[in-house]
Structure 1
Amino acid sequence: MDELSSKQQICSYIIHSQEEEIKRIALELHEGVGQNLYSILTGLQFIDSGAKEPHMKHYVREMSQLIEKTIQEIRHLSVELHPPTLTTLGLLPAMRSYINLYTSTFGILVDLETTGEEKWIPEKNSITVFRVCQEALANIAKYADTSNITVHFIWMEEELTITIYDFGKGFQQEEYNDLNPLSGLAAMKERMLLTGGQCKISSKIGEGTSIEISLPLNRD
């Protein structure tokens, strides 16, 4: 038991360190690289206003459009790495923000429902649940062959339950049971165990896949 607890502490420390680095990179992308590109864009717009040759104006506008697209892509990447709303507003607003980005990226409609009164979650647990939901949605986009997903948050006094259902093609349950420990689905389960929670996955061919995430509340 002591050996298991030690391994969990090491795993938790590694994940926390990774999340801090991801957070730093996301901030640098948004406030560093993004702001620098915005300054370049402003300069190009100034040049465009003074350019007289049609070919020069056309070239400057093409460059401006390219930079605008790059700025948007950096913003999307920054949100995907670590949405600022996760720290400032909490898990539910962060999921809403990410789902908007997800739908615009993959064209998959996500119906987000919430039942009960939203409760405060410690940041490390909030990040864990967000990452598990993020991984679940990424797997759906890759493998489920679906156009609709439901995500249901159920807030209870001592537990948060999140159910994600994809209405997709599903897979053989034996495939999940035999997963490589390093696979995405296995990592989702492992992350939730570190919070004292659980991640259960059930699927049937032709009927879709259900992912149920549970997180104890009122815990440090």
Structure 2
Amino acid sequence: MNDELDQIFSDKLFQYIKDGIIVMDASRKIVKANRAAKELIGWGIGERVPYCSYCAKRDVKPGEERCYLMAHKGEIPYFSSEMPTFGEYMLDVEMSNVMIYHDQETDKKYYLLVLRDQTLKKKEEEARISKKMIKMLTNAKEAEHKRLSQELHDGVGQSLYSISIAMDNIMKRIEDDTLNEYIDDVRLELGQVMDDVKFYSQALRPKILDQLGLIATVESLIEMMKKQLPRTAFHFSHNFDERLAPMIEINVYRVIQEGLHNMLKYARAENGCIELNKQDERLIVMIKDDGVGFDLKMKKSGLGLLHMKERISQLDGTTTIESSPGRGTTITLEIPLKESDQDESLNRR
């Protein structure tokens, strides 16, 4: 009975294990193959296992086995290459090969070939590298924004302020009313330019974010929005005041900034709400309005929404967008609160 159970379990394991398993003789003729192997390469019992792309082309010495794994007699634990399938499609696989039985009387040798599909692993690695590159590009972009913002504020802004002071001194020494009136007009234009420089500096990288953190910066952003949307009532709540990791602060701020920009441009809302809450080592952010809303199916490819999701994805967080025509929009972010080495790439100096 135990032998029968062993046989049943062996057959079950052989057939349902996810890796492709082939038993072949020394001439690579297939003696047995499990379901996964048949699905991977399509070769059946009695057919010969083709050589992988590396072995098919590699130089071999006279009498040497062409199969790289068989030539090394199990000394190489595994090997990655491309294996031709039944339809001549090349499949990226990881292989291991070991002799499992040697009939001393007939000198027949049987080998166990294990195949593991690397396609999914390769795609996951490509996705990981792509995500890392996007994160590095975002860091570089924010660092450049910070540099330009500093240059506008400390360089151009201070120079314009010095010019404004000089013009005040000139006006005190000129008694010509017509000329004074002209200079006064120039000073008004100069004041507008100074306001523009301040606005662009703030838009590139708000200095308050590095100095005081996310809460104070969002409050400042809302005050700016109140001036642009005087008919919209804004509500802001939070259950913490401490600083967060720099990467979390800048990316959450950018998403809130984009959400409020969309509210300004499209929503026509009477109420706008922003909530920042810490819950069980997670940051929950909600940006909500009671505006015109939109059809998610029509808008899902919008760049603004896509950039929001990319930024939060870099923090290993999730973004949920709920909206429908006439029912407003709610954007919910859920972000794990964890420091990483990259967090300090945007320092607070």
TM-score (normalised: structure 2): 0.59
Higher relative contact order (CA 8 A, sep 6+): 1
Partner of 1:83: 206
Larger strand fraction of residues: 2
Alignment of 1:48-63 (within 5 A): 48-63=171-186
Partner of 2:63: none
Alignment of 1:191-206 (within 5 A): 191-206=311-326
How big is the shift at 1:106?
A: 4.0
Cα gap change, 1:75/1:147 in structure 2, threshold over 3 Å: closer, same or farther? farther
Q: Distance in 2 between matches of 1:52 and 1:104?
A: 38
Letter aligned with residue 83 of structure 1: P
Cα gap change, 1:109/1:75 in structure 2, threshold over 3 Å: closer, same or farther? farther
Letter aligned with residue 191 of structure 2: E
Cα gap change, 1:100/1:47 in structure 2, threshold over 3 Å: closer, same or farther? same
SS of residue paired to 1:92: helix
How big is the shift at 1:120?
A: 3.1
Partner of 1:213: 333
Letter aligned with residue 166 of structure 1: D
Q: Distance in 1 between matches of 2:151 and 2:324?
A: 43
1:47 to 148, 162, 170: 170
Letter aligned with residue 23 of structure 1: K
How big is the shift at 1:117?
A: 2.6
Describe the superposition over 1:181-210 as per-residue Cα deviations: whole angstroms up to 9, x where unpaired.
xx1101101110110111111002111000
Q: Distance in 1 between matches of 2:289 and 2:216?
A: 21
Q: Distance in 1 between matches of 2:218 and 2:145?
A: 17
How big is the shift at 1:137?
A: 0.9
Q: Distance in 2 between matches of 1:184 and 1:147?
A: 22
Q: Distance in 2 between matches of 1:120 and 1:202?
A: 29
Q: Distance in 2 between matches of 1:117 and 1:138?
A: 25
Q: Which moved more, 1:148-157 or 1:135-144?
A: 148-157
Alignment of 1:69-80 (within 5 A): 69-80=192-203
Cα gap change, 1:193/1:130 in structure 2, threshold over 3 Å: closer, same or farther? same
Larger helix fraction of residues: 1
Q: Distance in 2 between matches of 1:58 and 1:5?
A: 63
Q: Distance in 2 between matches of 1:100 and 1:169?
A: 22
Matched, 1:110 2:234: yes
Larger Rg: 2
Unmatched tracts of structure 1, length 5 or more:
none
SS of residue paired to 2:129: helix
Describe the superposition over 1:115-141 as per-residue Cα deviations: whole angstroms up to 9, x where unpaired.
x23343211221111111111111111
Partner of 2:262: 139
Unmatched tracts of structure 2, length 5 or more:
1-123, 341-349
Cα RMSD after superposing both structures: 1.4
Q: Report sequence identity in percent.
A: 28
Q: Distance in 2 between matches of 1:29 and 1:105?
A: 23
How big is the shift at 1:110?
A: 2.1
- Are the aligned partners of 1:169 and 1:207 in contact in 2 as well (CA < 8 Å)? yes
1:97 to 199, 215, 220: 220
Matched, 1:186 2:306: yes
Letter aligned with residue 191 of structure 1: R
Q: Distance in 1 between matches of 2:335 and 2:241?
A: 13
Matched, 1:155 2:278: yes
SS of residue paired to 1:171: coil
How big is the shift at 1:144?
A: 1.0
Q: Which segments of structure 1 move beyond 4 Å, counting only runs of 4 or more?
A: none
SS of residue paired to 1:128: helix
TM-score (normalised: structure 1): 0.93
SS of residue paired to 2:334: strand
Cα gap change, 1:214/1:119 in structure 2, threshold over 3 Å: closer, same or farther? farther
- Are the aligned partners of 1:83 and 1:98 in contact in 2 as well (CA < 8 Å)? no
Partner of 1:18: 141
Cα gap change, 1:118/1:155 in structure 2, threshold over 3 Å: closer, same or farther? farther
